[in-house]
Each structure stands twice: as structure tokens, then as C-alpha cells.
Amino acid sequence: MLKIENLHASVAGKEILKGINLTIGAGEIHAIMGPNGSGKSTLSNVIAGRDGYEVTQGTVTYKGHDLLAMEPEERAWEGVFLAFQYPVEIPGVNNTYLLKAGVNAARRHRGEQELDAMEFMQLVREKAKLVELDQSFLSRGVNEGFSGGEKKRNEIFQMAVLEPSLALLDETDSGLDIDALRIVAKGVNTLRAADRSIIMITHYQRLLDYIEPDVVHVLADGKILKTGDKSLALELEERGYDWVRAEEAAA
């Protein structure tokens, strides 16, 4: 699904990613953990195609295509989805309207017929239930006046509607209370599929209790220092990140 090789990227001339290698197969869930400033969000932004992130070296191949050559919207059409750490408010723009524009742009791209208003509303109602999102959110402005938890649920709701092949969840658990976390996790688990890969970026092991990853990576100082199974996450929770760095230094 996704193959990242020797990826180097800078922000404002400062190198943040220093040679990332990562391969994610179809249907896999990978957790990327790491301390603040390790480059986790930079990695998700580079994959989603945000401006201001300069790739200086390396390649990212998605479904056999050069992902870095695509515009962000093309990536979305091809099934890449980013659940934002801090979803932005867009006042006056109807939540459903934005999603419908996105869904239909992707359908046009694939040569499929666009969904009409009725079909779309049906789809949206069904998906809103997945994350227990009240119907009233559908007609509100995008994230306008949403609480932190509602914003995160809205992200997973959008993921459910857009049905991506590769979803990046950037600290989707941060700022969630335990009930909201459970709802969001349930939503994500429902969306697990053999043809859908998920990258979860998180600080905390807590999320992994609810969404079980196949692989856990430790990202620090712009590199993946260690890769393991979910037991690695438990070890990190217990011992912090310094021992991983020390191991790396010793090697």
C-alpha cells in the first residue's frame, strides 16, 4: 500500500525527517509513537501533501505511484485521508456540503456518477451513527463551535464517508475523554478492512488498548529507531523513550 524510502524533509530550511523507511501493507494498522518534536506530524503532513514541507531526499510510493508528485486533492481522490490533530473551523461552510463536494470530486476522478442529494444524505446519516454524531452536526458549519471531542469525532465521521485506502490519524486521541475515545476507537475499528491501511500517530499507549495495531514504530529525531509489535508500546509506556535513543546510540 505505502512504501517510504529514505525520506528526508525540511520545514523552513530545518531538517525534521532524517531518513524514514516504512512499509505498510494492505489492511495493516501501524502505530507511530514518539516524543514531542520527533517529526510525527511532519510525516503525516508530507504524506497528505501540505505546503511548506520540502522533501529533500527519498521517495514515497502509494499503490505503485509516486505520491509526492500528486496534489493534496489528488491524493484524497486516490484514497489518502488525514484526520487532523487540530481540525480547523470554516465558518458558514456546511459540514455536509464540504463532504459532498469531496466525495463527488473523488467520484468524478474515478469516472463514477456523482451522488445526488438524496443518496448522499442517506450515506451520511448511516455513517454519522458510526461515531454517534448527532444529526444536527451535519448541517452546522465545518467544526464551527465544535468541542475538541466533537471535532475528532467529525474527523472519523469524514473518514467513514470518504472510505479511504490509507488513513492517517494524527493524534486523534489527544484531548478526548475516555467516553469519546471509546466512541472514536469503535468507529475506527468498524472501518478496519482488508483493503484499508491505517497509520495512527499518538503519544499514548492508551489508544492502542482500543485499536490494536499490527506494528508499532518509535519515531525520534526524525528517524524510526525501533519497530516491534504492540508489546513495544507497553514497554514505551513503562520506560519512556530514552532507552530507545540510548540503544540507537550504542548501535
Partner 1 sequence: MSEVKQERKPEEFAGREYQAGFITDIESDTLPPGLNEDVVRHISAKKNEPEWLLNWRLEAFRHWQTMTEPHWPNVSYTPTDYQSISYYSAPKSQADGPKSLDEVDPKLLETYAKLGIPLREQEFLAGVAVDAVFDSVSVATTFKGKLKDVGVIFCPISEAVRDYPELVQQYLGTVVPTGDNFFAALNSAVFTDGSFVFIPKGVRCPMELSTYFRINALNTGQFERTLIIAEEGSYVSYLEGCTAPQRDENQLHAAVVELVALDDAQIKYSTVQNWYPGDEDGLGGIYNFVTKRADCRGARSKVSWTQVETGSAITWKYPSCVLRGDDSVGEFYSVALTKMHQQADTGTKMIHIGKNTRSTIVSKGIAAGFGNQSYRGLVKIGKSAEGARNYTQCDSLLIGDKCGAHTFPYVEVKNPTATMEHEATTSKIGEEQLFYCKSRGISEEDAVNMIVNGFCKDVFNELPMEFAVEANRLMEVSLEGAVG
For residue 91, the minimal CB distance to partner 1 (Å) is 6
Instruction: Give strand pairing partners of 220.
Output: 223
Q: Where are the beta strands (DSSP E) in 25-104?
A: 29-33, 53-62, 65-66, 80-83, 90-94
For residue 120, the minimal CB distance to partner 1 (Å) is 14
The answer to whether the beta carbons of residues 193 and 1 sit under 8 Å apart is: no
43 binds partner 1 (CB under 8 A): no
At how many degrees (to 10) do helices 117-130 and 178-190 cross? 130
For residue 167, the minimal CB distance to partner 1 (Å) is 11
162 binds partner 1 (CB under 8 A): yes
Q: Nearest CA to 160 among 122, 126, 209, 110?
A: 126
Per CB under 8 A, the segment of 100-108, 125-133, 198-206, 230-238 that binds partner 1 is 100-108
Residue 45 and residue 159: Cα distance in Å, rounded?
17
For residue 226, the minimal CB distance to partner 1 (Å) is 29
Q: Nearest CA to 164 among 8, 26, 68?
A: 26
111 binds partner 1 (CB under 8 A): no
Residue 223 and residue 2: Cα distance in Å, rounded?
17
For residue 93, the minimal CB distance to partner 1 (Å) is 4
Binding test (CB under 8 A) with partner 1, winner from 51, 113, 178, 250? 51
Residue 143 and residue 122: Cα distance in Å, rounded?
21
For residue 168, the minimal CB distance to partner 1 (Å) is 10
48 binds partner 1 (CB under 8 A): yes
58 binds partner 1 (CB under 8 A): no
The mark string for 178-217 relative to partner 1 (x by CB under 8 A, - otherwise) is ----------------------------------------
CA triple 12-15-17, angle to 5 deg: 125
Residues near partner 1 (CB under 8 A): 10, 12-13, 48-55, 71-73, 75-77, 81-82, 84, 87-88, 90-94, 97-99, 101-103, 105-106, 109, 141-142, 158, 162
